[in-house]
């Protein structure tokens, strides 16, 4: 699901419509607040793209990114 490239983790998630994509983003926002680690992301209609990297560690992948990716994967598995 996650692709490691250019010192970041990337994933793209597709949903049946905008409402489901936005609901997913809302849930990810709660995860981000809980971990105090916020993604770079975009949403166009039913597609959410997420980039995870730790800026204060020199824009590289850290355990914070891997933990957040894991939490997002758990969220996706509940929605299927």
Q: What band does 80 get if pLDDT is binned at 50, 70 and 90?
A: low
Domain-wise residue ranges, the chain:
3-79
Q: Tell me the whole-structure pTM to 2 decimals.
A: 0.92
Residue 49 CB neighbours (<10 A): 14
Is residue 79 scored above 80 in pLDDT? no
pLDDT one-digit tens code per residue, 23-42:
999 999 999 999 999 999 99
Please name the helix (run of DSSP H) or strand (run of DSSP E) that holds residue 26, with its range, or none.
Answer: helix 18-35
The residues near 28 (Cβ < 8 Å, ≥ 6 apart) are: 39, 41, 48, 50, 72, 75
Q: How far is CA 31 from the centre of its chain?
A: 9
How far apart are the C-alpha atoms of 7 and 30, rounded to whole Å? 24
Domain 3-79 is classified in which CATH homologous superfamily? Transcriptional coactivator/pterin dehydratase (3.30.1360.20)
Q: Would you place residue 1 in the very low, low, confident or very high pLDDT band (cuts 50, 70, 90)?
A: confident
């Amino acid at each position: 699901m996650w692709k490691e490239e250019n010192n970041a983790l990337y994933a793209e998630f597709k949903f049946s419509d905008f409402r489901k994509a936005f609901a997913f983003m809302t849930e990810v926002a709660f995860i981000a607040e809980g971990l105090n680690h916020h993604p770079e992301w975009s949403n166009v209609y039913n597609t959410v793209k997420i980039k995870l990297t730790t800026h204060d560690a020199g824009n590289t992948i850290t355990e914070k990114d891997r933990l957040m990716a894991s939490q997002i994967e758990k969220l996706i598995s509940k929605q299927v």
